[in-house]
């Protein structure tokens, strides 16, 4: 068993930023990176919207920078997964996959979310070469080009209208004859001239060798198949927050996101703070995740001062 002042679970921009702040405040944080050290940016190419990188940075390189900065201030980083927690008492308990038991005065949850994918041929092979799950991150690379996007919720509505401002034409593929998105978002979609909605339509295959050059689609009512000549393919069918192990302890919303006090990182359990995409289904940007990581570390530090730890 190991005792720490601050345990950080997860290692994307939120987790590393929390580590930098917690370490500099003398909390000697212990970080468990989770199954994908570095988080979603590890599967992203160029990041051009993170301030401070005027020439952009590759996602994995950026996460290496974050990691080095966290290590410079004495964060202990373990590439391992926390599989179980117990938030019953004032000292919070966690167990790693290898069986290590950790007792922590504060826990910062930064486990992020994972984009859902369709699982169709070509989708994984062409990820970062035309296939993306983030229009705000990657739309710019397809300016003045024709692209397709799958989904029918608020994310798909928002991202398709965002893409329509940058791209010459956007095809929105909706699998039913109606959208789930809020009415106002749907109206925006339907009133955007270069955004074409394909109802009852599913993507069957992403085509291309080195990059995307088309999508094979099928109308699930008529069975009619066709090909859209697009260079970008966006998937916006939702995210799954990585919060399963906290379900017995914390309040999650109906999509599984951790509910925090508005504007804060408090989870409702003293000493347990949540930041990044695990508690944010709206913004989901590296820079917003980093911002809430900072907030969680400051909240943890203040909590420890109050408790005299
Ligand atoms: P949602 O779960 O709301 O929607 C997912 C959409 O993807 C559904 O329309 C679903 O279709 C479709 N879908 C799922 N699987 C497939 C598939 N295999 N093939 C084709 N389509 C598929 O996710 P969102 O990310 O859109 O939103 C998540 C939450 O975040 C919501 O509560 C939303 O309101 C909120 N949000 C709010 C925003 C805002 O307020 N500005 C912005 C973005 C999100 P079907 O409808 O047929 O099931």
Q: Are 277 and 292 in contact (CB under 8 A)?
A: no
- For residue 280, give every residue at least 6 positions away whose Cβ sits within 8 Å of its Cβ, in sequence order, or none: 257, 288, 289, 292
Percent of the chain with pLDDT over 90: 91
- What is the CATH architecture assignment of 2-114+239-307? 3-Layer(bba) Sandwich (3.50)
- Between CA 36 and CA 55 the distance in angstroms is 26
Backbone dihedral angles phi then psi of residue 228, each to the nearest 5 degrees: -100, 125
- pLDDT at res. 80: 97
pLDDT in tens, 201-217: 999 999 999 999 999 99
pLDDT in tens, 215-270: 999 999 999 999 999 999 999 999 899 999 999 999 999 999 999 999 999 999 99
- pLDDT at res. 47: 84
- For residue 25, give every residue at least 6 positions away whose Cβ sits within 8 Å of its Cβ, in sequence order, or none: 297, 301
User: For the chain, which residues make up each domain, given as ranges?
Assistant: 2-114+239-307, 117-235
Q: Residue with the nearest Cα to atom 30 of ligand 1?
A: 281
Lowest mean pLDDT among 34-48, 96-110, 166-180: 34-48
Q: Are 181 and 154 in contact (CB under 8 A)?
A: yes
pLDDT in tens, 259-304: 999 999 999 999 999 999 999 999 999 999 999 999 999 999 999 9
Query: What is this structure's pTM?
Result: 0.81
> Ligand 1 mean position to 238 CA, how many Å?
5
Catalytic residues: 134, 137-138
> Ligand 1 mean position to 157 CA, how many Å?
9
User: HSE (CB half, 13 Å, CA atoms) of 183?
Assistant: 0
Residue with tokens 């109906």: 254
Chain length of the chain:
309
Q: Which candidate, 278, 303, 300, 305, places its Cα nearest to that of 7?
A: 300
**Looking at the predicted structure, is the pLDDT value of residue 46 above 90?**
no
Q: Which candidate, 290, 305, 277, 304, places its Cα nearest to that of 18?
A: 290
Atom of ligand 1 nearest to the CA of 182: 34
Residue list, ligand 1 pocket, CB within 6 Å: 118, 150-156, 158, 175-176, 180, 202, 237-239, 255, 281-282
- What is the CATH code for 117-235? 3.50.50.60
Q: Are 42 and 114 in contact (CB under 8 A)?
A: no
Enter the DSSP assignment of 223: -
């Amino acid at each position: 068993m190991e005792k720490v002042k601050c345990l950080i679970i997860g290692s994307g921009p939120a987790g590393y930023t929390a580590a930098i702040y917690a370490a500099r405040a003398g909390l000697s944080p212990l970080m468990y990176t989770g199954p994908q050290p570095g988080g979603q940016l590890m599967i992203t190419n160029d990041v051009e919207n993170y301030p401070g990188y005027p020439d952009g940075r590759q996602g994995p390189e950026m996460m290496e920078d974050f990691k080095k900065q966290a290590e410079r201030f004495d964060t202990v980083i373990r590439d391992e997964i926390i599989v179980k927690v117990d938030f019953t008492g004032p000292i919070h308990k966690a167990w790693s996959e290898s069986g290590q038991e950790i007792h922590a005065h504060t826990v910062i949850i930064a486990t992020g979310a994972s984009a859902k994918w369709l699982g169709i041929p070509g989708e994984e092979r062409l990820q970062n070469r035309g296939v993306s799950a983030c229009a705000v991150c990657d739309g710019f690379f397809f300016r003045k080009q024709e692209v397709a996007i799958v989904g029918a919720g608020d994310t798909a509505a928002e991202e398709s209208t965002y893409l329509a401002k940058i791209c010459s034409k956007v095809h929105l593929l909706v699998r039913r004859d109606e959208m789930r998105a809020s009415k106002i978002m749907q109206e925006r979609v339907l009133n955007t001239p270069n955004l074409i909605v394909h109802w009852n339509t599913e993507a069957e295959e992403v085509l291309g060798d080195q990059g995307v050059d088309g999508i094979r689609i099928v109308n699930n009512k008529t069975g009619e198949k066709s090909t859209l000549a697009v260079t970008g393919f966006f998937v916006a069918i939702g995210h799954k927050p990585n919060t399963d192990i906290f379900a017995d302890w914390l309040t999650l919303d109906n999509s599984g996101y951790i509910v925090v006090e508005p504007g804060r990182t408090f989870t409702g359990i003293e000493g347990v703070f949540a930041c990044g995409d695990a508690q944010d289904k709206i913004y989901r940007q590296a820079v917003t995740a980093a911002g809430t990581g900072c907030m969680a570390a400051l909240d943890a530090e203040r909590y420890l001062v109050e408790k005299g730890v």
